[in-house]
Structure 1
Amino acid sequence: MAQASYKQFCPVAMASEVLCTRWTLILVRELVAGTTRFNDLRRGVPKMSPALLSTWLKELELSGVVERRPLHTEKGVFEYHLTAAGKDLLPVIEAVGKWGQKWVESSLSLRNLDPSLLMWDMRRNLNPTPLPPHRTVVQFLYSDLPSSKSHWWLVIEPEGEVDLCWADPGFEIDLYVTTDLRTMTAIWMGVSTLASARDSVELLGATDIVSTMQTWLGLSPFAKHKKLVA
C-alpha cells in the first residue's frame, strides 16, 4: 500500500512517504484521540472497510508508528497503540486540523456530512460535568436522514462514561434533539451556535439539560480556530 518513493533525502519527503497516503493521517487522528480497539477505530473512520483498516494498521505498524498489543483479558483481541514516533505526531495532527479549520471554507467542509463520525466525535468529547448526577440519555433525531440513520442515542453515566447507541437502549429519554445533520454539524464545528440555530433545532426535555447543552455538548477540538458565524 505504500506509495512510490520521492527519492529525496529531504526529511519532509521522507516523512511524506509514510504519512501522505490516503487514510493515514485520518487513522492517526483516531489513535492520537486515544482510540485503541479495532471496532472503535472503525467508528472513527466509518468509510473504511474492515479489510482496508486492517491493511493500513499493518502499514503503520511496519512504519514504526503503531504497535499491536494483545489484550490479556480477551483471548485473540488486540489493541493498537502509538509508539514514541506515533506520539510525536500529536502536534502534526493538531497543526493540520487547525489549518483546515481556519483556511478551508466551511461550506466545503459541510458538504461532507457523516452522522456516524459526527456522533462518535461528540461522544468522545462530551463534557458530563454540567449534567445531573444520574444516568442521562439524549436522543438525536436527524429529520433529513432515512430512518436507518436518523436515530442516535448518547447515554451518559454518572461516572462520566459515555456510550453511543444506534438502537434504542431502552432507558428513559431525558432530552430529545430534533434537527438536520448539516445544522448539528455546523454547531459542532463552531461555525454556528445552538443559540443562533434555534429555529432549526428543537429541544424537548429537562430544563437544566437544555439550558446547559452548549456546555456539555462542547465543540470540535478545532472549533476555536475559526470565527463563529451566526
Structure 2
Amino acid sequence: MKFCSLYSGSSGNCQFIKTDSTKILVDAGLSGKKIQQALTNIGEEASDIQGIFITHEHIDHIQGAGILSRRFNIPVFANEETWNAMKPSVGQIKPENIRVIDDSVEIGDLFVQAFDISHDAAKPVGYKIFNDNKKICLLTDTGCVTPSIKQNVMGSDLILIETNHDEDMVLIGSYPWPLKRRVLGEFGHMSNDLAGNLLCEILKKGTEIVLLAHLSKENNFPELAFKTVENILGENGISTNEGITINMTYRDKSTKVYDL
C-alpha cells in the first residue's frame, strides 16, 4: 500500500492511497485542476481514481469532488448526513456515483472504515484504510480526542494527524474571539500539543510513519509543529531514532510517496 498527501492545510486537503489494483482519494478540497496536476506530478492519473472518500462537508475537503466525479465518472463516498450537507456545494453527480456509507466499505483490495470525530460539521469522520495487514489512519478536523478516536488510531502503520495550530498563537492572534473559541473548542481543530500527547500513547503500539497535517496558515508553521511534537515525544521517552518517522505535509505541494 502506498500513500501520498497531495495537499494538506486549512486551504485544502487531498490524500492519495493506492495498491497494485486500487486507487482512491480521501477528500478533494482543491480545484479539480490542482488535484489532477498533483496526481500527474507523482506519476498518476485522475482517470484511474476509483473512489473519493469525504470526511466532512467543509469546502477545504470537497471543493474538487464534484468536478472530478463528473469529469472522470468517479464514485463519491460519504455518510448520509455529510451528503445532505455537501450536495449544494458539489453540484450534480450521477446517481450511481453517490455512494452513501454508514461505517465501512470494500473498494478493490482496500477496506475503508469510518470513525466518528469531533468537529463542527454534520457528521465528520476519520478513516482507517486496510490492505494486506497494513493500516493507514487519517485523523484531522477534531477538537478533542475521545477514547473511541484513540482506539481507532492505535496500531496504524502510517497516521496522518492534524497539528492545526499553536494555542498561544491563536490566543494572541488577530482572529475575533468567536473564531478563536471555535478553533480551540472541542468541535474545532487539534493543536500541536494535543497531537503530540496522543502520539505519546499510540506510538508505543508500533506506528512507523507519522505525518503532521492540516496546519493553519495564520496560527502555526511547520517548524513549530514539528518541534512541539518532537519535544513532547522526547519528554515521554519516545525517540524518533527508534524506527519512528515524523514528517510534515504541505498546503502547496505533495509529500513523497510512502511505501508501506
TM-score between both structures, scaled by the size of structure 1: 0.29
User: Whose Rg is larger?
Assistant: 1
Which structure shows the bigger proportion of residues in helix conformation? 1
Q: Of the two structures, which has the highest relative contact order with CA contacts closer than 8 Å and spacing of 6 or more?
A: 2
TM-score in terms of structure 2 length? 0.27
- Relative to its length, the structure with more strand (as a share) is 2
